[in-house]
Amino acid sequence: MRSAEIIIVGGGPAGSAAARSLKAAGADVLVLDKERFPRHKLCAGWITPQAVSDLQLEIGAYPHGFLSFKRLHWHLRGLGVPVPCVQHSIRRFEFDAWLLERSGAEVVQHAVKDIRTDGEYYWIDEAFRCRYLIGAAGTPCPVRRALFDQLSPRTRALQTATLELEFPYDWRDPDCHLWFFEHGLPGYSWYVPKASGWLNVGVGAMASRLKQRGENIREHWRHFASHLERRFRIRMPSDPTGYSYYVRGALDGARIGNAFLTGDSAGLATRDLCEGIGPAIQSGQRAADAILSGSAYTLGDITRASLGGGLISRAMDWAFTRGAGPSIPMPAPHRVV
């Protein structure tokens, strides 16, 4: 049996952010992840200046591909608007492994299945024991499943469905493109170039709204793929793969005793652009702070709006998540453009 004061289940952005803060304070921390890093992670890999700042990331010192966009092209009903901005892209394959290694925490490859409590301890698969437990394993997080699901079940109307592909591609257009509501998609599709000749393209939508419409995300992928072929002469090298995660809903109950939920396990992605990396990082850091200082674990002021919470933000929140109850006021926004 392996014992540590704090165990983090999941070594993505939420887990590595928590690990880094805890390790820097000298805490006894262990990260368990079912994958060996570097591992593949479905994600467009767009990161905001806020995320770069929260990570204290010196762009010049980052050893992998890092691309900054000067423009974001918004497309709606055939109309394209280039909007000046500063946003970035990375490859999650490289980024997550680098962040986890930078945290300095010990990482053990282990797929967590069962968690039980015994007095002040959490037991994991009868093989690991800790006093503090951080759930950072994304949508299928076993910490959530074992300890939180009954108290705060997921809201189906906030669940996304996505399909994407990342592949080497000699792109000519270095800007990011987003197409909203094409063919009635309750979401958007994207073209995100990466440094060193990589490209990420995908479609994302609210799963329950697709279901209401009797549609499948794969139909939207086919429309999108033929659009990319016409516009950029891109031929998809293979079929896309999918992943589902939850955008921001009510956040009561992200802590029970000394167990915490962070990132996608807590459902923190923004409601207008489904941005999850930044909120994952912030929540991981806050879980670490709560453990280190004994302070409350609060997530309410982590932004739920990538676009600043103004009219466009609210319209998109409404268009994506209607049926999930009224959209909630949006405190502490940050701006993408």
Residues 272-311 that bind ligand FAD (CB under 6 A): 275-278, 280
243 touches ligand FAD (CB under 6 A): yes
Beta strands in 136-210 (DSSP E): 160-168, 176-180, 187-194, 198-206
Residues 147-186 that bind ligand FAD (CB under 6 A): 162, 164
Q: What's the rounded Cα separation, in Å, for the pair 179 and 76?
A: 6
30 touches ligand FAD (CB under 6 A): no
Nearer to ligand FAD, 80 or 140 (CB): 140
97 touches ligand FAD (CB under 6 A): no
The two tokens of residue 50 are 């806020």
Nearer to ligand FAD, 186 or 263 (CB): 263
Binding mask 112-131 for ligand FAD (x = CB under 6 A): x-------------------
10 touches ligand FAD (CB under 6 A): yes
Q: What's the rounded Cα separation, in Å, for the pair 27 and 10?
A: 17
Query: How many other CB atoms are there within 10 angstroms of residue 160's CB atom?
Result: 24
Nearer to ligand FAD, 233 or 234 (CB): 234
Specify which residues 256 forms β-bridges with. 259
Q: What's the rounded Cα separation, in Å, for the pair 277 and 269?
A: 8
Q: Tell me which of 29, 30, 90, 136 binds ligand FAD, using CB under 6 A.
A: 136
187 touches ligand FAD (CB under 6 A): no
Q: Tell me which of 4, 6, 7, 15 binds ligand FAD, using CB under 6 A.
A: 15
Q: Are the beta carbons of 247 and 160 closer than 8 angstroms?
A: yes
The two tokens of residue 136 are 């950072």
**Cβ at position 202, least distance to ligand FAD in Å:** 5
43 touches ligand FAD (CB under 6 A): yes
Q: Which stretch binds ligand FAD (CB under 6 A): 12-20, 64-72, 224-232, 293-301?
A: 12-20
User: Which residue carries 């090298």 as its tokens?
Assistant: 237
Q: Tell me which of 4, 6, 9, 336 binds ligand FAD, using CB under 6 A.
A: 9
Q: What's the rounded Cα separation, in Å, for the pair 150 and 210?
A: 26
CA 5 to chain centre: 26
142 touches ligand FAD (CB under 6 A): yes
Reported as type and span, the H/E element at residue 320 is helix 311-321
Q: What's the rounded Cα separation, in Å, for the pair 90 and 71?
A: 16
| CA end-to-end span of the chain | 50
Q: What's the rounded Cα separation, in Å, for the pair 108 and 130?
A: 14
Q: Which stretch binds ligand FAD (CB under 6 A): 179-187, 259-267, 285-293, 328-336?
A: 259-267
Q: Tell me which of 4, 18, 22, 42 binds ligand FAD, using CB under 6 A.
A: 42
**Cβ at position 121, least distance to ligand FAD in Å:** 19
240 touches ligand FAD (CB under 6 A): no
Contacts of 211-219 with C-beta under 8 Å, sequence gap 24+, read: 212/323, 213/184, 213/186, 215/184, 217/161, 217/162, 217/163, 217/242, 218/163
32 touches ligand FAD (CB under 6 A): yes
The residues of the shown chain that bind ligand FAD, judged by CB under 6 A, are 9-15, 32-35, 39, 41-46, 111-112, 136-138, 140, 142, 162, 164, 202, 204, 243, 245, 263-265, 269, 275-278, 280
